[in-house]
Structures are given as structure tokens and as C-alpha cells.
Amino acid sequence: MTSFDSITAQLAAQAIELPSWAFGNSGTRFKVFSTPGTPRTIQEKIADAATVHRHTGLAPTVALHIPWDKVDDYAALRDFAGDHGLALGTVNSNTFQDDAYKFGSLTHTDAAVRQKAIDHHFDCIDIMHATGSRDLKIWLADGTNYPGQGDIRGRQDRLADSLAAIYERIGAEQRLVLEYKFFEPAFYHTDVPDWGTSYAQVSALGDRALVCLDTGHHAPGTNIEFIVAQLLRLGKLGSFDFNSRFYADDDLIVGAADPFQLFRILYEVIRGAGFGPDSPVAFMLDQCHNVEDKIPGQIRSVLNVQEMTARALLVDGTALRAAQDAGDVLGANGILMDAFYTDVRGDLAAWRETRGLPADPMAAYAASGYQAQIAADRAGGQQAGWGA
């Protein structure tokens, strides 16, 4: 197996973007629990994200969600983030909370509604210019709940038109990433339900249009690492929304439900040249911390990605290829499992200390007093949430 020392340079380059909304309250349709210390503003979210980065060295950027993170002055927000050691990352649009979008946004039959949704994306692009963001991420709630409610085919055509209008507006250094999702909030058909649809749509746009793969957005049993390998092969994997799930889009902490699956995904990322400074693939989290504390929830998440990345980097590729070519099923599987079963936590802890980071970020955060501080400081005001 590859030695830990030989992979530290690669680990050092790892960056995982945090979603601003992970620091706000979230929940299910049944209940959203609030917790002391929850941010009221995007600035407080950024402060929390910076805390994650300070403890882990893994999270140098934070993604924005518009309008949840709307401010008057985005250049000032960029500076604020910079002062906290962070850059602003992907801008996420939102076309699912305005009454106008009840029956669709970019796919709506009404041209006026479509234009409203397109204009919202234009606003996001303007924000990106101010924040220095590269990626415009589009996740659509568009879909229908009942057979016959909408015209599946026509909606797809209108989606293509709307996306073309948006794509035309993005800058030469910017990218459009289109996320797909199996279902929810639409329960009969979803307009971008699978990687094939996202791939077909972005392929029609151009080189700077890519697919976003959210690890919780697939049908039961779907082999996600296959999709990773395929999209990398096709040159269309733009970014990951990491999280984990046992059932549907549970949005649990990445790696919590099936760490072996996360390992396999990361192995295919590395195998397909999707990892490293020259890779076009952005790593992001997209999670909900419904019952657990949010900041340590994010710390745990980036650590899970780091730990599984380390294991995946440890795979002895040469031996693996030889066993595969020999038809040695158990041997090949054993080589992969050997890396997965290797406990990298001690090595990672020691290496973190050489970089001026706490050996145990979870313990360090717990000992830092930050949680008590924000619980005390952030009294009053309206805690951030999804605004559903």
C-alpha cells in the first residue's frame, strides 16, 4: 500500500467549500428546531465557517445562497470574508420560494415567470462578479406532483431555452453547474431528475456548463461512483454537493451513513483525475444539521471527507490494476479494502500538528468556548433558516 507520507502533499491541497445555509436552522416539514448561537446574518455564518476552517485547514471558501444571503454590498462581504481568512465561493440561486414559481421556474409555461427566473440568475451572475465567485449553481425544484399536471416534454424544451439565456450571460471565467435530484419537492416528475438529463442539458450549452452531483440525489441502490467515473470521462463533472443518506435526500453528515461509499466515490475521483489543483471538480458540502450542533457538524463533515480521501489515496493502484487484469476478484477487492480499513486517523492527527492545526479538531472546537460565546452573543434577532 502507498505510504501516508507520500500522500500528504495531495491532502494539503484539499479544499471543501462550506454552504452558508448549513449554519442556519434547518429541519423537516414537521419541525425546525432552533439552537442557541445560530447566526442571524451572513456575516455570522461566515464567522462560523471561518471557525471550521481555522480548526481544520480544509474549508477556505463559503458558498452563498441568494436571496438567503442577500446583502447590499457584495464587495464588502468579500472583504469581510477575506478578513476571516475565507473567500466567497459558489453562488446558489433560488427559484423555489416565490409564489410565482409554484408550477415551475425556468420550465414554466408562462414566459413572464421564466424571465423572472432568468433575471434572478442574472442577478446572481452580477453578484458573482462582485464576490469573485467562479460557479453559478442551479438546483431547480421544478417538477409536478400529478401525472398530466405538466407537459414533461415541453418543460424540458423550455428549460433548455432558459439555461441558454443564462449561460450566455456568464463570464469567460465563470461556470454554470446544473444539479440534478431524483425527487423532492416534486413528487411525480422532476425536470432534472438524473445525471443523464443534467448532462444532456449542459452539453447543449457549452464547455463552461457542467454537472453538479449531490450524493443524496439518487434512486435507491444507485452506484454513485459509476456516475462520478462516467462524468469525469465525459469531461462534465463540475462539482460535488456532499452529504449522506439512508433513505431519500436526508442531507446527513457526509460519510455518516455509508463511509465505504464515500471512499469509493473519492477513489473514482482520484482515479479519474478529478482530484488536485488542476482538477475542475469543486468539493462542496450541502447538508442539514437538524438535530446535531452545526459547527461541529461541519467540522465532522470535512474531516470525514479528508479521512476517506486519505484512504482512497492509499490504494495501491499498480497492484490493483494487476489483480484486475488477472481476473483475481478477491485479490483486487482485497487491495481496495486494505486501504479502506487502514486507520489513518493517527497519521492525520500528527500531520495536522505539523501544519499548525489541532490534532483533534472536534475536541479543539469543543474546548475553544466558541459555542458558548456565540450562544451568549447572538441573543435576539431572527435566526437564519431556510425561510420555508
Enumerate residues 79-108 that contact a copy of itself by CB under 8 A: 96-97, 99, 102-103
The least CB distance from residue 290 to a copy of itself, in Å, is: 7
Contact with a copy of itself (CB under 8 A): which of 57, 193, 238, 358? Answer: 193
Size of the site for a copy of itself (CB under 8 A): 104
Q: Which span sits near a copy of itself by CB under 8 A: 6-14, 62-70, 127-135, 318-326?
A: 318-326
Contact with a copy of itself (CB under 8 A): which of 19, 238, 272, 358? Answer: 272
Of residues 273-312, which lie at the interface with a copy of itself (CB under 8 A)? 290-293, 296-297, 300, 307
Q: How far apart are CA 353 and CA 199, in angstroms?
A: 42
Closest by Cα among 252, 253, 196 to 219: 196
Q: Which span sits near a copy of itself by CB under 8 A: 79-87, 162-170, 243-251, 371-379?
A: 243-251
Of residues 339-368, which lie at the interface with a copy of itself (CB under 8 A)? 340-343, 345, 362
If residue 176 lies in a helix (H) or strand (E), which one and from where to where? strand 175-179
Nearer to a copy of itself, 9 or 153 (CB): 153
* Residues 6+ away with beta carbon under 8 Å from 100: 113, 116
Contact with a copy of itself (CB under 8 A): which of 15, 71, 248, 359? Answer: 248
The least CB distance from residue 62 to a copy of itself, in Å, is: 21
The answer to the question of residue 19 lying near a copy of itself (CB under 8 A) is no
Q: How far apart are CA 334 and CA 330, in angstroms?
A: 6
Of residues 24-43, which lie at the interface with a copy of itself (CB under 8 A)? 26-33
Q: How far apart are CA 88 and CA 70, in angstroms?
A: 13
- Provide DSSP, 211-258: EEEETT-S-TT--HHHHHHHHHHTT-EEEEEE-B-SSSS--BPTTSS-
Measured between alpha carbons, how far is residue 323 from residues 153, 317, 318, 332, 335 in Å?
46, 10, 9, 5, 9
Q: Where are the alpha helices (DSSP H) in 139-235?
A: 152-169, 195-203, 224-233
The least CB distance from residue 123 to a copy of itself, in Å, is: 19
- Grid cell 419541525 is found at 31
The answer to the question of residue 388 lying near a copy of itself (CB under 8 A) is yes
The least CB distance from residue 79 to a copy of itself, in Å, is: 32
- Grid cell 473567500 is found at 87
Contact with a copy of itself (CB under 8 A): which of 23, 167, 195, 351? Answer: 195
